[in-house]
Structure 1
Amino acid sequence: MRRYWNRSHPNDCKVIKGKRKHKHAKKSIPVLSKLSRLRWRLMKSISQIKLQLRRLTMRVNTLQKQVESSYGARGNVIAYLRSRLNTRITIETPAGPIFGTLVSIGEDYIQISEPNGSIAIIPQRGILSIE
């Protein structure tokens, strides 16, 4: 409230009430409108997640086919190595060639006895070529 004094008449002092300024209140958004917006956002997020899930499923299926095809090739390698058991072979690995007698074939490795008497254990994933 503001008070103004009327100075034009010295004996007449009266209070003049001024108007207060009202702050503009924000319009309240109804609860249903808020829920509707939240629902829309959730639906949009869910659709994006579904799309990502489809893409990832396709990638997993592709990788699974690749693993199955490479496992089948490894099965052929194991069958070939079994036919060469206790014979002299040369295995090419990333570390270099290994020459010796194939002693045993494990689930995921092979064992070669080298001419100097040492035993080399080679993981099957490390076999580059067989001679």
Structure 2
Amino acid sequence: MRRYWNLGHDSECKEITGRRKKKIAKPSHSVWRKILILRRKLIRSIEQIRLQVAQLNARIIALQEQVNARINTLQEQVNGLGAGPSSSVLAFLRGRLNTRITVVTTGGTVFGTLIAIGEDFIQIAEPNGSIVIIPLRSILSIA
């Protein structure tokens, strides 16, 4: 308890007693405690990120397996088609040997006389005398 003296009147001095106000107890957060709190939050965040990365890795692996299955299916389809031209195309071209044909290719249209048929190409003699060799894989249509 504190004592206060009332000095307002010169003749009388009275002692006034009063009570101190109680201070509200504030939690003391030292710098070290704040660092520890931040550390815990950081560790939780890192664990959440690790969990998300693991989930994403699992999804990537599943997608890779799907893509590999599709690639294998397509590879089997391509292998089923055969590497060379079909026998009906070669039979058609053999029947047109030494006749005039028009061939549409990926590079353009060629008109002339079919003079030779190879395993994977044909030769056409154009009207101007030049000989054109066309790979069978680049032929789009024959007329």
TM-score range for the pair, normalised by the shorter chain length? 0.5 to 0.7
Identity of aligned residues (%): 24
1:52 aligns with 2:37: no
Q: Is the 8 A contact 1:91 1:128 kept in 2?
A: no
Q: Which residue of 2 aligns with 1:119?
A: 131
Amino acid at match of 1:25: I
SS in 2 for 1:74: coil
Partners of 1:36 and 1:120 in 2: CA distance: 68
Q: Which residue of 2 aligns with 1:22?
A: 30
The two structures have a TM-score, normalised by structure 2, of: 0.52
SS in 2 for 1:96: strand
**How far is the alpha carbon of 1:66 from its aligned partner?**
4.4
Q: How has the CA–CA distance of structure 1 residues 57 and 36 changed in structure 2, closer, same or farther, with 3 Å as cutoff?
A: same
Q: Which residue of 1 aligns with 2:109?
A: 96
Q: Is the 8 A contact 2:114 2:122 kept in 1?
A: no
**How far is the alpha carbon of 1:64 from its aligned partner?**
2.0
1:72-93 per-residue CA deviation (whole Å, 9 max, x = no partner) reads: 6823355325634743251431
Q: How has the CA–CA distance of structure 1 residues 65 and 91 changed in structure 2, closer, same or farther, with 3 Å as cutoff?
A: farther
Q: How does 1:15-94 map to 2 (within 5 A)?
A: 22-23=30-31, 24-27=34-37, 28-29=39-40, 40-71=51-82, 74-76=85-87, 79-80=90-91, 83-84=94-95, 86-94=97-105
**How far is the alpha carbon of 1:53 from its aligned partner?**
0.9
- Which runs of no fewer than 5 residues in structure 2 stay unpaired? 1-27
Q: Which residue of 1 aligns with 2:118?
A: 105
**How far is the alpha carbon of 1:113 from its aligned partner?**
2.3
Give the strand-richer structure, 1 or 2.
2
- Which runs of no fewer than 5 residues in structure 1 stay unpaired? 1-19
Cα RMSD between the aligned structures? 3.7
